[in-house]
Structure 1
Amino acid sequence: MRNIHDVLDARAVTTLFQPLIEIATGRTVGYEALSRGPAGSPWESPAALFAAARAVGREGELDWICRAQAYRTILAAEPDNSLTWFVNMEPTAARTVCPPDLAPVVKLARGRLRVVTEMTERAIAGDPSGLLSAAAACRDAGWGVALDDVGADPLSLALMPFVHPDVVKLDMQLLREPGDPHTAKVVAAVAAYAEASGAVVLAEGIETPEHLAVARTMGATIGQGWLFGRPGPLDPSRADNARMPFIPPPAVPDRRSPFEIVAARRPLVRTTKDHLMPTSRHLEALVEVGEEAPVLLACFQEARHFTRATARRFERIATKSPLVAALGAGLATEPVPGVRGASLDDGDALRGEWNVIVVGPHRAAALVAKDLGDTGAERDRRFDFALTHDRALVVEAARSLLSRVAPAESPAIELLAAR
């Protein structure tokens, strides 16, 4: 084949599979699908294959090709229906329409296979609304969601509550540096999430008995790595009918605003803008304190309230936080570098709200306030407000904002792709 277009046009992708093992019993509970380009070509490795497709604007299509080929291979093997199949995702795949020639096998897979879609923090931060919708679509199909490479980047911990993964995949480097302070922080945050949610912890890169022993101490119940098997042709006959559980899905973000969500469960206090400002600034400052890099989401009602001083603060915060978003009438999709923006319509309830929400691995806080419509001096404008540190409530309010943060062009969300 002469170039990457030939590879994509010919759908010349093959799939290898690596087993996922229940650590306590040694039983095979599933496989991860891993795609490869034509053997002996410059595009054989997945990194080279996706880089070439990305360079010509066909990365999303390649993701569909990889997924369809994986499903075709799995379905042909007629595997036990208790097996779980892990597929990886590229961010662009969520908003790329499935090519018509691949649609039949994808539809068949949705009805017959038990799939876990793997997401990364890069995908979520790039298109939070799209990824939340895509995760909901996966769950609507009875599929699960995994957060991949947790620990490779500390930002993934801050985004874990929004993904609400059924499976948390620990990055392989954690097994090799068990005494590192960063490893201890990651393991503690993952353990807290798994205990509260019932999620499965999966350790990647297990190559030796020592790695396996470390994985156990980190709370992993599923293992993946060369100790159990290298990627190769599919052999579902080794499975032992062990079913990997999925956890209850999070509440689907509705159109209620953060104020409406929090006010339904917390008492309100009436005060002025002047008295609310210190609390608002304090929550913003939480993002810059410590090493956990929380998410910051804020509503400004109108663009004029996103002042130059505020813009400077948010631009600085965005260099540390995995996701900073500002919403208000007239705000651009990127009001300052690194900050995700969203303009509010005239009828949007957020036009009347002032919200500041912070969510990190170990902290969560939300200030939600409703403008009472005063016309006097700016500092004397009155608001009804509530302040909460209830993690579940804060995350619910945050998800309602993330559902409004989307690219300017928002085609239909498709189920996510494998590689």
Structure 2
Amino acid sequence: MVDIDTGRVVAHEALSRASSYGVPVAPDRLLHDAYQSGRADDLDSLFIESALRAAAAQGLLTPHSLFVNVEPISLANGFITAPLLSAPPLVIEITERALTADPGALLTAAAALRAAGHLIAIDDLGAEPASLALLPLLAPEIVKLDMNLIRRQPDRTTAAMMTAVAAYAERSGALVLAEGVETAEHITRARALGASVAQGWHFGKPSETAGDAPGVTVRPSGPGRHSAIRERDSSDVTPFGVVAASTPLRVGDRAMLVQVSILLEERALAAGDSAVLLSTFQSEDNITEATRRRYDRLIESGCLLTAYSTGASAALPHPARSVTVDDADPLAAEWDVVLLTADYAAALTAREIDPSRHREGLYEFVLTTDRDLVTRSAGALLSR
């Protein structure tokens, strides 16, 4: 990995390579077979331990000078190897697909890795549209752009990615790294996308030897980094608690809040597969047939959708997630609609003023488009 301005090597990435009876085995095939046999955790551990041994043998001991990949299933299973937690400070690469597959498990794993002194890099950003909306939730210190963004002709998707990454990097101080750089033209494109560090065959092919490197450096955390993580572990933190602590409450009736909720759903529908929508329903009885029809359309659009309710699960069609909330959870008393897209964020959060007078349908509520508050609200939900 090379500083684009100086041409200096600043870090190395550990690449997984294996062979069978002297014949190389493609990493993708190896991972596929490991997943199929239920041994992906074991393979991940083997790769990590091998990378750490090789780095130590070659003197790569400078903090954050070695990038190591961790598979999504290892994170989802809560599987973080002991060698990784006790290793010198590394940069842990987490693939973009982990961000959309199980955000809650990913946030828990990221917190454990950061506590061990590691930095987090999101890998292949740009392959999954919804990952742009979730980027502030993970709050990675390093953003690795998918190589297709560097190599293909610019289009609206590229422009949207460039805008979203620039906004996140400006707010958080994150370092942007371009992958797959093979030509001088790719370097120009990488600069345009905001990258200051790059990797690829333009700088050299993978090698079994490597010299020590100074490691990557990132600016001190800005207001956009770790915002969703600060209160994530507390079970009594809810979107209402996050937003109402700093925003004046208003009073509205049920009919008005329904229309605001539908408006946010329509914004999510327009954003399609780049939208993340999280909704709470107090009771499953509030999930009407009309609601299900609207949510079916959201699912068809590719929106990353999660519904929270007490009692029976909302039972939304795959790939939407349905989460059952315990009656004792403060979230059970809330009406929340949290929307994140690459360029828009909004949260409606409300509590009934007097549940014993339910027919009156009066609520204290907040509607905010403050991205930091919306991101923290999303984190409060995804931690469940």
- Given the superposition, is the C-alpha separation of residues 374 and 312 from structure 1 closer, same or farther in structure 2, using an over 3 Å criterion? same
- Conserved in 1, the CA contact under 8 Å of 2:269 and 2:297? no
Identity of counterpart residues, as a percentage?
39
Cα deviation digits, residues 144-188 of structure 1 (max 9, x gap)? 111111122322212212111111111111122243222111111
Given the alignment of the two structures, is residue 29 of structure 1 paired with residue 2 of structure 2, yes or no?
A: no
Give the CA deviation at 1:377: 6.1
Q: Structure 2: where are the runs of 5+ without partners?
A: none
| Aligned partner (choices 218, 228, 241) of residue 245 of structure 1 | 218
The residue aligned with 1:177 is 152
**Secondary structure of 2:277's partner?**
strand
Cα deviation digits, residues 177-224 of structure 1 (max 9, x gap)? 243222111111111111111111101110011111221122110000
- Conserved in 2, the CA contact under 8 Å of 1:29 and 1:244? no
Q: Which residues in structure 2 correspond to 1:73-222 (within 5 Å)?
A: 73-96=54-77, 103=82, 105-109=83-87, 113-222=88-197
Q: Which residues in structure 2 correspond to 1:34-49 (within 5 Å)?
A: 34-38=15-19, 44-49=25-30
Give the CA deviation at 1:290: 4.1
Which residue identity is paired with 1:194? A
- Conserved in 1, the CA contact under 8 Å of 2:353 and 2:362? yes
Matches of 2:4 and 2:330, distance apart in 1: 49
The count of aligned residue pairs is: 376
The residue aligned with 2:317 is 336
Matches of 1:288 and 1:182, distance apart in 2: 17
Matches of 1:96 and 1:65, distance apart in 2: 16
**Secondary structure of 1:29's partner?**
coil
- Structure with more relative contact order (C-alpha pairs < 8 Å, separation 6 or more): 1
The residue aligned with 1:5 is none
- Conserved in 2, the CA contact under 8 Å of 1:315 and 1:337? no
- Given the superposition, is the C-alpha separation of residues 337 and 206 from structure 1 closer, same or farther in structure 2, using an over 3 Å criterion? same
Given the alignment of the two structures, is residue 389 of structure 1 paired with residue 362 of structure 2, yes or no?
A: no
Matches of 2:85 and 2:161, distance apart in 1: 37
The residue aligned with 1:15 is none
Matches of 1:391 and 1:234, distance apart in 2: 44
**Secondary structure of 1:226's partner?**
coil
Matches of 1:141 and 1:231, distance apart in 2: 28
Given the two structures, how large is their TM-score scaled by the length of structure 2?
0.91
134-143 vs 286-295, greater mean Cα deviation = 286-295
Which residue identity is paired with 1:176? R
| Aligned partner (choices 289, 292, 295) of residue 276 of structure 2 | 295
Matches of 1:332 and 1:142, distance apart in 2: 38
Which residue identity is paired with 2:119? G
The residue aligned with 1:17 is none
The residue aligned with 2:378 is 398
Cα deviation digits, residues 74-107 of structure 1 (max 9, x gap)? 12222241452212222210244769xx74x445
242-251 vs 187-196, greater mean Cα deviation = 242-251
Matches of 2:78 and 2:334, distance apart in 1: 36
| Aligned partner (choices 195, 200, 205) of residue 225 of structure 1 | 200
Matches of 2:79 and 2:376, distance apart in 1: 31
- Given the superposition, is the C-alpha separation of residues 72 and 138 from structure 1 closer, same or farther in structure 2, using an over 3 Å criterion? same
Given the two structures, how large is their TM-score scaled by the length of structure 1?
0.84
Given the alignment of the two structures, is residue 367 of structure 1 paired with residue 348 of structure 2, yes or no?
A: yes
Matches of 2:100 and 2:312, distance apart in 1: 19
- Given the superposition, is the C-alpha separation of residues 42 and 356 from structure 1 closer, same or farther in structure 2, using an over 3 Å criterion? farther
The residue aligned with 2:330 is 349
- Given the superposition, is the C-alpha separation of residues 353 and 49 from structure 1 closer, same or farther in structure 2, using an over 3 Å criterion? same
